[in-house]
Each structure stands twice: as structure tokens, then as C-alpha cells.
Amino acid sequence: MLTLKRGLEGGKLEAHDVAIQDIHGEGKIIAPVRKGTSKGPDVTSILFPFAGIKEAKLRKNARGETQRFSIRTLAPIFLVDEVSIIDEYSPVTGRSGYDDTARKRMFSYILTGHDDGGVTVEEKPQILISILKNSKL
């Protein structure tokens, strides 16, 4: 059993290992989202293990940079509104935007169980040009 609790006025988010009617006292304080290089508990780090979903890295662009698989990336395939259902675009990938690659890689991970943790990041073209200009070949 897992219950996430947050007051109507906002504030801290708590995780409890009991049903809502059995909550007594404070639960484990978790962050709604992770910021920067934070490793503290957040909604994803509580919900995914509870659901049996492993930590994963998803490629976020053509260069091979990765991002953490999170509840925010997963939500669009479960939370589909009426407009998305009748739209010409897939509810999974949505309209083109900054997160196209991550959404496609998330869907691939859900289907195959293989993440992009082993992908090598390509150097930025500007860095490669600078290296070539400064090297003595």
C-alpha cells in the first residue's frame, strides 16, 4: 500500500506505507520533483519501485544526451484527455517539441525494457571544430 499526501494549501508531500484512513503522524517527506543533481527522494523514486518499474535513462536528443525516466515522462501515456484522443497526433508522442526524442525513447523502454544508459554522447560540433583547429596534425 502506498499513499501520497499533500495538504490542500500545498506544502510538503508525504509518502505513507498505509491506506489513507490509517495515516497517523508524518510520513516520509519527498520532493515533488528533483532539481539539478539532487539524489533525494521524489515522486518518481517512490512510485516507480512501488510499481515495479526500474530506474532508467532515456536519450533526450540526437547527440545522445540522456535524462532520467520520470513520472512526468510516463504520465502522457496514461493521462489522455479528450482533445488528445481526437487529435491527429499520437497521445504518446504528442505534437513536435523539445521532448520528442525522450517521449519516443520512453515508449520504446516501456515496450522493450531496454533503456539508453549505455549510449555514448556525441561531442558538440563547436567543440570538435575547436579541437581540430588547435591540434597539430
Nearest-angstrom CA–CA distance, 79 and 61: 24
What per-residue confidence (pLDDT) applies to 59?
92
What per-residue confidence (pLDDT) applies to 16?
92
From first to last of its 137 residues, the chain has per-residue pLDDT tens of 999 998 888 888 999 999 988 988 888 989 877 777 777 888 998 999 999 998 899 998 888 888 899 988 888 888 888 888 888 888 777 777 777 888 889 999 999 999 998 888 877 777 777 777 777 65
Domain boundaries, the chain: 1-52, 54-137
What per-residue confidence (pLDDT) applies to 3?
92
What per-residue confidence (pLDDT) applies to 137?
55
SS3 assignment for 49-108: HHHCCCCCEEECCCCCCEEECCHHHHHHHCCCCHHHHHCCCCCCCCCCCCCHHHHHHHHH
Q: What is the pTM for the complete model shown?
A: 0.71
Read off the pLDDT of residues 25-59 as tens digits, 9 standing for 90 and up. 888 989 877 777 777 888 998 999 999 998 899 99
